[in-house]
Amino acid sequence: MRILILGGIGEAVRLTQRLAPVHTVTYSVAGKGRALDLPCPTRMGGFGGAAGLAAFLSENGIELLIDATHPYAAQISRNAAQAAQATSIPLWACRRPAWRPQPGDDWRGVADWAGIVAALRDFRRPFFTMGLEPLRHAAEIPLEQHWLVRCLAAEPLATPRLTLLCAAGPFALEQELVLLRESRVDVLVAKNSGGDAVAAKLAAARQLHVPVVMLERPTLPKAEREFAEIERLAVAITNYQSF
């Protein structure tokens, strides 16, 4: 089967490694990132919206489109749904289940950046683990706050009230506890990404009674079939009757 996998996260890479030996797979990422050792062609960069993706699907004879992107990558998921509809190519999705608060957690849900700013008003040392967005607001850091921002990679910033930490997960609980304590973090800001790789920060926050400002997930379009785990998706492809 000719499959296009929209990726950009670890599960998508693992799914590709699993499917590529058996199917004709193309793995697609938004831009240049870490070099990937994949047994199939990798396509880098956008398609040019839903219409561009639809054209790619048709021109390359794709028979199954798999959305295995991050739960906050809403635009590409919308494009995938539109392109699948326009071309009548089936769309399957891997949707990571969201984390749920556990006893002892103090989570405060917010919808957007303005909600984050409002929720942080009473705190002094927020720890942001939500990608690059805080860096775009570095000039707006309130005088009484110091920000710790952890992201995959970023240009260094000459802002004395911001500490930038470029690091890729997974992160161990002990590591997160040390970071929160040594940086005197009084609130954690996170996306509800789900999965295990970066979940230890939540356990650390619980243990240290640090509240969590949680950016709510965007609403994603429905796919024809949705799977919480790549293993189930891979098995379903094997059992796919039409092929």
- Chain contacts with ligand NAP (rule: CB under 6 A): 6-9, 28-30, 46-49, 52-53, 69-70, 72-76, 79, 131, 191
Q: Given the complex with ligand NAP, which of 6 and 149 has the nearer CB atom?
A: 6
Q: Given the complex with ligand NAP, which of 128 and 186 has the nearer CB atom?
A: 128
Handedness of CA 139, 141, 142, 143 (dihedral sign): negative
C-alpha distances in Å from residue 120, one per residue of 123, 179, 182, 214 = 5, 19, 20, 11
Q: Given the complex with ligand NAP, which of 77 and 187 has the nearer CB atom?
A: 77
Q: Which candidate, 190, 5, 82, places its Cα nearest to that of 200?
A: 190
Residue showing the smallest CB distance to ligand NAP in the complex: 46
What is the nearest approach in angstroms of ligand NAP to the Cβ of residue 104? Answer: 26
What is the nearest approach in angstroms of ligand NAP to the Cβ of residue 218? Answer: 9
C-alpha distances in Å from residue 121, one per residue of 6, 84, 115, 131, 149 = 38, 43, 10, 20, 17
Q: Given the complex with ligand NAP, which of 77 and 205 has the nearer CB atom?
A: 77
What is the nearest approach in angstroms of ligand NAP to the Cβ of residue 219? Answer: 13
What is the nearest approach in angstroms of ligand NAP to the Cβ of residue 139? Answer: 22
C-alpha distances in Å from residue 107, one per residue of 160, 208, 210, 212, 215 = 28, 13, 9, 5, 10
